[in-house]
Structure 1
């Protein structure tokens, strides 16, 4: 059989051209998460290549985490852990439940601590001022009946006064944003957020059930009330293999700044 991947740059290996085409179709929703890709024979006919070339392309998609092979069944688009949207102003729990995920929140600790210097500065406090630090582990099931897996580890810092008004036990079932607005009358109306690629520490890896040093995404978000006063300084570590960042861009709605950062040492 003569291989002809019509419509593609002939300088690009045929398997790579197929990989790019299928990856683009997964990205634009042509192939939905959980759906099966066309059979290998059908793909070979479509692209005018051998089965060996198709299998090479599918292996590349699998290596990049876009699909998974199920023996005797076919190749399926992988279910993403969750999409993390940069537009709008929603809590992490609202992000997860809004995507149909079954959320489980475990409050690991809620203690008054001396504010680290950076936290104190972000909350407008003097260094060493006591703040409430709430550690939560967020886990979710990607679909009904599927195992619940840990997705992110979140630490929220609030002033001692504001934290003293919260019933921490309610955080197992309600978002902090919701409690601030409905219980305390201090709704979050704006936030500044930074995202940074990091590697999991030993503690984070143990809680998130990942190997030490696994890639992760660190979110630092400072949430404010209507008057612009800081309410919550959040630090969330999200697993790298289960998080997809989505930015819905509009010139007047979302501002994204990209910076490079040299590694220490």
Structure 2
């Protein structure tokens, strides 16, 4: 693909939201744009803040530093399940130390991924259980990566005992999974893939997810919402997903954004 291919071009900014909301999950370290520019673009459309999420030790350190440097950024730190073999005791000790920092408000993304075979399931389970323990010890939220592993993720949470705040990042379950999460008080964060044409199950899940257990995210630079699927994602594109969620739930957009903002402060603490 040539550098000038339109699929590499950043999408234009969407219509601004009527009230501010935030991006509950993105990877600012992977974006090619400096953080101040990312935040400025987001603010221009009503996205005031972002949670930048670690996936290995280096990215977790980066996220913690970025959150300390930028008032509108919080961090999450963890070893991704696809890299669970790297979650040695020494690495997990450093993740725990990072999680105790004031601008780090979550442990994640952690969990189980049975879609890819990049990490041994035994290593994934050991790492997931260790991250649950870190979240409980540090009083932070737990941000879960769950891919083709719903039953085991729910079982491990039950066996270990969940922390007070649990977020299923890029929620990937169906209506029944959403009902189970709702019954347990788990927060469901929806990404741009809820806008995809073939994502009927996700929209049904969003429809039944209680508003008080709902967040919105980009997972930037991945999962760019329609109509820009396949192009680079960034926090300024949250309005496209937020509008989809409001339509699916039959909610006023302002009401939805206000609810999501309250949910975010409950999950990650006040900004």
Larger radius of gyration: 1
User: Which one scores higher on RCO, CA 8 angstroms, separation ≥ 6?
Assistant: 2
Fold-level similarity (TM above 0.5): no
Q: Which has the higher strand share?
A: 1
TM-score, length-scaled by structure 1: 0.26
Q: Which has the higher helix share?
A: 2
